[in-house]
Structure 1
Amino acid sequence: MYERLKHLRSPLFIFFLVLLIVNDFFLKAAFHNSFTGKLSDFSGLFIFSIFWSAIFPKHKLSVFITTAILFVFWKSEHSSGIIQFLKPYFGIARTVDPSDLIALPMLLFAWLYIKRDSPTATGTMLKTQFSTYFIGSIAIFSFCATSQPRYIQFFEQPQYVLLKNPTIRYLNAHDELKLYKRDSLLAVKINYLYIRRPERNDDYNKNRSVENLDLTVLRLLADSASLIPPGKISLLTLNTDQGIDSLRFNGGRLDGVFTRTKGGKTIIEGFYKMGLEDSIWTIRDTLGDDKIIQTFVNGEATQVKRYSGDKIKSTSTINTRADSIFNTYIQLAVLILCMAGISYFLYTNYRKARPEHFKLRLLWGLLLCFVAPFFVWLFYIGILLLLMNYSQDIFETIAAGIFIFIVVCPLMFVVVFLIKLRRSIDIFLYCLLFALACSAWTMYTTIEALSK
């Protein structure tokens, strides 16, 4: 079995695997350009095709042909329907860019690479097994990997607050704020805010940022300006870089009709209810007849319609926080079903092989108990990435690894020395089972956090 997986241990496979991970986690975040995108395509095609051809050695040609077809389909607009269907559950996304197809020759390169003769792996069978499991786990992790998000709250619709009696002297001291002084009033346009890591980057989370936006801005300015009490109506017209904004404030918060005009054309028209978008918003193209009509309910977008002239081009619905909670329940149910399936498979192996068991020396058994938590941790991160529920920073990632080690290590001692492994595949299955259990717990805590 492990002879057919020898290409997973080859230097070139490991090189492209490391390159893919470094690119996805570091280079994309640092540069985020077309080169880093193409680098992922080239590296990904190479390791993806070789990985699955090693798993299905009798169907190598089919694997390569299928990979090419799926890659072309994935990069085309024809996959949009499937992506929209799966996106709420797995966070799948991609950019349609025909130039990405220049990576297809990597499949030919990978095919020629695996067809050449390569030396048989040396070393003990157990060492070969461990190295294969390790590299295979990293490969699965890389297939699910994505760049980590920055914790910045942007506002799709313009956000302003109004303060009174400002003494501020420098109007351009804050990149995240744009200040407009009008006599005794100070209108503040909020471009973005740095926030604590949200459980979900949705409109519900945005609403929480908007809830006390005037107080937040006042703290950022560190100025002697004061809040305007609710009930006082103020009308302002501001000449901004994006156009002329007509604002209506109730106290210090936007409340009522908002319009933005540019070149004599109304390009944005909507309605605020104490800082939250509400009802129908219309956004028009400054050059053509295209427009977008968004429907908001208490600050949460629920529907988006795109028009070309008077002809509708597309209609899409957007998940509210309630939808996110429901989808998370579905993900949790899928994880539990997977755990049940793996548990049944392990039980079947146990019954069929009993009293025989997988022979493992004491030293290797101890090593397995201490190394297995690392594989569980990798599987755990990969599962959360696949479910688009991975938003941990580096400290939380390390903490999760420590927690998994503390929990899984004793469990592996029970599995290895008391229950005893029946087949070598049981090592993989137990690691995956424990990773699914950790992921299920994370999904449960996510539901609790979203429900607050």
Structure 2
Amino acid sequence: MGLNTMHGKTKQVFTNLLRIKPELYSWPFMISLFLLFVNDFILKAAFPNTLTGKLSDFCGLYAFAFFFSKIFPENKKFAVHLITAVLFIIWKSPLSQPFITLFSTYFFTIDRVVDYTDLWALFVLPLSYFTPAKPFDRFYKTIGLSLIALIAFTATSQPRPRFHFFEPQYILLRNTKHVMSLSESGKSRSIEIDSLLLFQIEQIGLDKYPRLYDDFQQKSLLENLEKSIVSPQDLYTKPITLQHQEDSCLEKLSFLNGRLHGAYTRYINQQAIVSGFYKNGIPDSVWTYYTYAGLLDQQDIYENGEKVKHMEYSDGEHTSNSYVTTRQNKKTIAIIIFGTMCLVLLLASYHLWRQYKKAIRSVRIVERIIYPIILPIFVFIITFLLLGLLPGSDMLGAIGIQGLSLIIGCPVFFIIYFAIDKHSIYTFLLWMLIYILLIMLLHDFNFLNNLKDVSMIE
């Protein structure tokens, strides 16, 4: 009997989740949900400050409590708000770190910042509890709003932008007991060596997500790394070579003006594993990687802080070379592709103009309705595949552009096919080609425009 009762209540909760109650469509909830989306996906990236940081907590907490109070029975409303408050406090404290680590390891990465001033957002819970839920009649009962709400709630848990250095970076300081401060998304530690302080940095928080996670981005961060962390008077400026031992790993480090400068070697169990050179904190020249047996494994050649060539070895014998596309090379390729697409666009437009002069058949009403729906879908698939050929294309950006193309594409094709009487199949294909080229030109132009825009330390 108990199991049947529990099963019935569980079924009712999921039924309510799939078929949202009319009371949920209230203006306060819809406004808070809208603000949460706009803030997390637009305002935070454009204006990273205290206001946009706190707005997500206030709107998200209000919408979360209101949403789940309508999913569960009315007599559970107080319990839902109380549990929401407790979970929010735990989430904003170090107590949630084991869960975050476990979830990020086996599912996808999530993160949050331990900031106890965020707890001021708890004051919106009484507003959620006493808000009269008046129906918002212009919406239908659908699973759509449930999915939108859940996406908005989890968006604030996405990790902050950060950069993980390809090799741990070091800054050498006078042992002044200076307290280092990096953002929550940074990862560093201080190591005392004799009368000096060795500051190790593995990753660092950024002000925004990088356009590309490449050597050019790393070089831009490394050029002024010490200026972002310490004062110039804290640096140990004399040339020095020292050793850093950690478990079975031994590193020989050379410094000048507090930055890595000169030969670098890493040993494991007295066997050289990595050897290379730094120039003012930036990787330079040839970097060599060895197997545990001491045989050559890989070699990388750096120029101006960017890897330009990679060489593979097998049992110490050279097997293959590959050249790495630098940021400047990507720009050159993008310009060539952009020019080629402009030329093809002009040719397609010219042929489209000629085709209209000799259109041979009329489009039926059924075709006029079907084509505007089918063609954007074909455009979505084809463009998504072609965007992968552009240098620096990322799947998330491609999906965003494709979503925009679908939103704009359907009305555009409706206008085309309902406004013009005569077409041919060749005309349809030309329209598809032109539309695809316009989307790709937009993507390539955006890529070129932001190519030199690098993320900096938060």
| TM-superposed deviation, 1:401 | 4.0
- Cα distance in structure 1, aligned partners of 2:325 and 2:404: 34
Distance 1:227 1:433 in 2: 59
Distance 1:393 1:316, change over 3 A: closer
Q: Which SS does the other structure have where 1:439 is aligned?
A: helix
The structural deviation recorded for 1:270 is 1.5
Amino acid at match of 2:220: R
How far does residue 320 in structure 1 lie from its aligned partner after superposition?
A: 1.8
CA distance in 2, matches of 1:422, 1:242: 74
CA shift, 1:237, in A, is: 1.2
Q: In the alignment, which residue of structure 2 is the partner of 1:153?
A: 163
More moved, 189-198 vs 237-246: 189-198
Give the match for residue 394 of structure 2. Answer: 391
Partner of 1:433: 434
Q: Could you say which residue in structure 1 is the equivalent of 2:364? A: 359
Question: What is the percent sequence identity of the aligned residues?
Answer: 26
1:39-72, CA deviations, whole angstroms, 9 ceiling, x for partnerless residues?
xxxxxxxxxxxxxxxxxxxxxxxxxxxxxxxxxx
Q: Which amino acid aligns with 2:393?
A: Y
Q: What SS is found at the alignment partner of 2:337?
A: helix
- In structure 1, the gaps of 5 or more residues are 1-27, 33-148, 219-224
Q: Secondary structure at the match of 1:159?
A: strand
Distance across 2 between alignment mates of 1:426 and 1:271: 59
Q: Measured at CA, do residues 420 and 233 of structure 1 come closer, stay the same or move farther in structure 2, by a change above 3 Å?
A: farther
Give the match for residue 282 of structure 1: 288
Write out aligned runs for 1:91-102 (5 A): none
For the 8 Å contact 1:166–1:185, the answer to whether it is kept is no
Native 8 Å contact 1:260 1:268 kept in 2:
yes
Q: For residue 446 of structure 1, give the secondary structure of its aligned residue in structure 2.
A: helix
SS of equivalent to 2:297: strand
2:308 and 2:325 in contact (8 A); partners too: yes
Q: Which residue of 2 aligns with 1:202?
A: 214
* Matches of 1:370 and 1:181, distance apart in 2: 66
Task: Please name the residue that 1:86 is paired with.
Answer: none
Is 2:319 the partner of 1:313? Answer: yes
Give 5+ residue unaligned stretches, structure 2.
Answer: 1-103, 109-158, 454-458
Q: How many corresponding residue pairs?
A: 297
Q: How does 1:319-358 map to 2 (within 5 A)?
A: 319-336=325-342, 338-340=344-346, 342-343=348-349, 346-347=352-353, 349-354=355-360, 356-358=361-363
Identify which range, 421-430 or 202-211, moves more after superposition. 421-430
> Which of structures 1 and 2 has the larger relative contact order (alpha carbons within 8 angstroms, sep 6+)?
1
- Shift, 1:156, TM fit: 2.8
Return the offset for 1:274: 0.8
Q: Is the 8 A contact 1:374 1:401 kept in 2?
A: no
8 Å Cα contact 1:238/1:246 also seen in 2: yes
Structure 1 residue 301 corresponds to structure 2 residue 307: yes
Rate the CA distance shift 1:391–1:31 in 2: closer, same or farther, 3 A. same
Distance 1:243 1:338 in 2: 56
Letter in 2 for 1:179: S
**Correspondence 1:211 to 2:223:** yes
How far did residue 306 of structure 1 move?
2.7
1:199 and 1:160 map into 2 onto residues whose CA distance is 25
Q: Secondary structure at the match of 1:296?
A: strand
Task: Choose from 271, 275, 295 the match for 1:265.
Answer: 271
Task: Write the letter of the residue equivalent to 1:266.
Answer: A
Give, as a single letter, the amino acid of the residue that structure 2 aligns with 1:415. I
Q: Relative to 1, partners in 2 of residues 1:229 and 1:188: Cα closer, same or farther, differing over 3 Å? A: closer
CA shift, 1:273, in A, is 0.8
**Structure 2 residue corresponding to 1:182, chosen from 189, 193, 203:** 193
Displacement of 1:373: 5.9
The 8 Å contact of residues 380 and 405 in structure 2, kept in 1 or not, is answered as no
Could you tell me whether the CA contact under 8 Å between 2:172 and 2:235 is conserved in 1? no
Deviation at 1:275, TM superposition (A): 0.8
Deviation of the 1:254 alpha carbon: 0.9
- Cα deviations by residue, 1:329-350 (Å, 9 ceiling, x for unpaired): 2332443355356446645643
8 Å Cα contact 1:268/1:282 also seen in 2: yes
Task: Please state whether the residue corresponding to 2:242 is helix, strand or coil.
Answer: strand
The CA distance in 1 between the partners of 2:261 and 2:357, in whole Å, is 68
* Offset of residue 258 of structure 1: 1.2
TM-score by length of 1: 0.54
CA RMSD, aligned part only? 4.2
Distance 1:167 1:306, change over 3 A: same
Shift in alpha-carbon separation, 1:213–1:353, aligned structure 2, 3 A? same
Change in CA separation of 1:399 and 1:295 when aligned onto 2, cut-off 3 Å: closer
Q: What is the distance in 2 between the residues matched to 1:233 and 1:420?
A: 79
Asked whether 1:255 is paired with 2:272, we answer no
Q: Deviations over 1:57-98 (max 9, x none)?
A: xxxxxxxxxxxxxxxxxxxxxxxxxxxxxxxxxxxxxxxxxx
**Structure 2-normalised TM-score?**
0.53
Alignment of 1:105-120 (within 5 A): none
- CA–CA separation in structure 2 for the residues paired with 1:30 and 1:331: 39
The reply on whether 1:162 has 2:172 as its aligned counterpart is yes
